Structure 1
Amino acid sequence: MTSSTQDQITTESGNRQNIFPVEAQPQLIENYSSYVEDAEKANGRWAMIGFVALIGSYITTGQIIPGVF
């Protein structure tokens, strides 16, 4: 191992080595006011992808839900 990797390795209890010693700490954003708008945009985009998939499956198989009808 290189010296930079050697510096990052820590030893846990039971002599287990851990190469990722630092755990990422979650951050709380208190004033995230555009959450609702972002969620609605994401929901609309997933709905558009679903609609395109529905049209694509109907064109390729001739069935609205392939395998069911």
Structure 2
Amino acid sequence: GIRVNGVAPGPIWTPLIPSSFDEKKVSQFGSNVPMQRPGQPYELAPAYVYLASGDSSYVTGQMIHVNGGVIVNG
């Protein structure tokens, strides 16, 4: 069977952040989420590994929100 799942990341710190935003935005990046900081790539990667592994063989139609506690409605 075909399974469809996804990962919805919040603000994730990468080297592109300081090169893409001015100093004020860089210092505030991720501060608007409940954990009050951006995530790190190593905190996001396990969600993808889980979905690609056999451990998620009975998971479908799900979105894993790795976003520091932000609730997104849309």
TM-score range, shorter chain: under 0.3
Q: Which protein is richer in strand relative to its size?
A: 2
Q: Which protein is richer in helix relative to its size?
A: 1
- Structure number with greater Rg is 1
Which of the pair has the greater relative contact order for Cα pairs under 8 Å at 6+ separation?
A: 2
TM-score normalised to the size of structure 2? 0.22
